[in-house]
Structure 1
């Protein structure tokens, strides 16, 4: 007779203040998938009013709350430690820096296996004492990275503990992307315009200046419009960058949008010209899930998202001319652009689905507990 496998008790600790579920849905769906598998019993610790709470509870996950507002909080450490003992937690899964700092400290002296999350490359050093409170904390047993590039970069900081880093792709579900395309009629775009979207929290490293310079290098008669989701139209800096593109009136700063995936779906092409420190960009996967191809720069996990010459185009970072050439290639060949989009949707479904993320995470759990 086969021995019945023990259900793994997992405590997920995470803090989110976003009202929109889109940015955190892949993470939440992975946790929910583990719980619904029957192999893992999940308890979640979230900040009060977290968007995740109703999302978890409707799938039968017990949710407890804590402010989770300080990187080191004695009360938070005590609460996590108490839960580890009371609920016989086998796996403590920590999804951001606040969770990692407090959770790793709480785990000291216990037998719980501790897993942290790493979502991007860069911004880390073995010479920085703060790193030893998070990803270099000696109490961590595994660090799940969002992309292979992130894993490889992290290993350069782990010394003889390189085996702590492992890659699990965040999973997306095509059922999330069934909404109609965003209505862009208020923008008054020409009917025959080629529409490009850039969906990002537009920090400097996201490469907006690179895109604006690339636009300035295109032929003057190129009939295209660019939608900047996340760009504040009232920002003088954003307006100055738009002016530099030479396409005032054709570059549209749309600000924060809760329907960012639907805006991408209304475009012909999405671009992400990040200059450094990238992970596995959710906005690209969202666009791909709607059948929209991408041009990305070769930073972080971008080249793992986009298969160059099959689902889109990968260009070197900070190379406006090469970005302009890639845009022009798909502008001039709409059939190729559509084919890349079709291929991108298939690849998102097959390689970046929720099921693979759940299975890979469970595999990490099992190997740790052996």
Structure 2
């Protein structure tokens, strides 16, 4: 059987390999399947490059720094024709707007990646450069909630949107938990962690308000990865918790998964527009359960009452109640962690992502 000729287009900064592990693993898995001839186009200096080249994958570069670039569009169009590409797989918005436009007038099948709910409108012209681009044959969503959300905006065939869960590999999560010796943590404290920033939809304010509701004599420590301790707005947010001495803003760290591994529970209180949160999958892979809000793909990550707890979004009282439940019952917390790790292995592995993507490629070409 002749191999499928794939051109995958993506863009990544030089920081932190962790966010791109599932994407790189998928591309490498397609290459290693023996059924796909993979070429990757990415930005110069992308952290993907050494990982892909090590596997023998052809990597080409383009700045990929504009939503619509005449030179990038010409470059992609030339590659489609010269390499006789069957599938054009576009992994972010810049790749989508340029790649789908370059595909106009060619026979190549075009697939876009969709990682979160919301931010699409039939009345917004910019949406027709990405998720509503008329040249897209398929949109691969990372969660069923995202697929369902996208259905309300798509014209015509709604089945163009489908779901493929990103795959994680247990071999990525064998490091020791992060050393927290530099922090003044209470002895045997119950540790809550969150990958935090100040974007309102991430729900840091909801978390801080939940902390303010909890009894003040709890032996708690809170670890906020990504929260800049020098930022006055972060300091204001910490004061909002009413236990600011126990809330530790750790700033940017490359060992975010290992910080989660050193925690008892990870918190994800997103208020809207969530995808399939990598931080939760990383924590679960270390056997750490999560408390998440019921938005986007969160409820697909966590089986409520089995592997963690799902609470309503923007509800500090419900979040505080969930924290207390696991604080009071450490055996239940540990049980959730064990089950969450097993669920990640079974449901969110690399193999299922590669196999499902191959099925989509083959169905388009049929």
What band does the TM-score fall into relative to the shorter chain?
A: over 0.9
- Which of 265, 269, 286 is the matching residue for 1:273? 269
State the alpha-carbon separation in 1 of the partners of residues 361 and 2 from structure 2.
12
CA-to-partner distance for each residue in 1:303-335, whole Å, 9 max, x for gaps? 000000010000000000000000000000000
State the alpha-carbon separation in 2 of the partners of residues 201 and 361 from structure 1.
32
CA-to-partner distance for each residue in 1:112-169, whole Å, 9 max, x for gaps? 0000000000111000000001110100000000100000000100032211100000
Query: Is 1:8 aligned with 2:23?
Result: no
Partner of 1:162: 158
Partner of 1:336: 332
Query: Is 1:127 aligned with 2:127?
Result: no
Partner of 1:300: 296
Compute the TM-score of the two structures, normalised by the length of structure 1: 0.98
**Secondary structure at 2:94's aligned position in 1?**
helix
State the alpha-carbon separation in 2 of the partners of residues 285 and 145 from structure 1.
17
**Secondary structure at 1:232's aligned position in 2?**
coil
Query: Is 1:58 aligned with 2:54?
Result: yes
Partner of 1:291: 287
CA RMSD of aligned residues (A): 0.7
Q: Are the counterparts in 1 of residues 196 and 204 from structure 2 also a CA contact under 8 Å?
A: no
**Gapped runs of 5+ residues in structure 1?**
none
Partner of 2:174: 178
**Secondary structure at 2:168's aligned position in 1?**
coil
Partner of 2:199: 203
How far off its partner does 1:200 sit? Answer: 3.9
| Residues 316-325 or 154-163, more deviating | 154-163
**Gapped runs of 5+ residues in structure 2?**
none
**Secondary structure at 1:187's aligned position in 2?**
coil
- Which of 209, 231, 250 is the matching residue for 1:213? 209
- The number of equivalent residue pairs is 366
State the alpha-carbon separation in 2 of the partners of residues 67 and 281 from structure 1.
27
Q: Are the counterparts in 1 of residues 198 and 234 from structure 2 also a CA contact under 8 Å?
A: no
State the alpha-carbon separation in 1 of the partners of residues 353 and 279 from structure 2.
18
| Residues 163-172 or 194-203, more deviating | 194-203
Compute the TM-score of the two structures, normalised by the length of structure 2: 0.99
Partner of 1:355: 351
Query: Is 1:113 aligned with 2:77?
Result: no
CA-to-partner distance for each residue in 1:48-70, whole Å, 9 max, x for gaps? 01100111100110000001111
Partner of 1:314: 310
Q: Are the counterparts in 2 of residues 274 and 317 from structure 1 also a CA contact under 8 Å?
A: yes
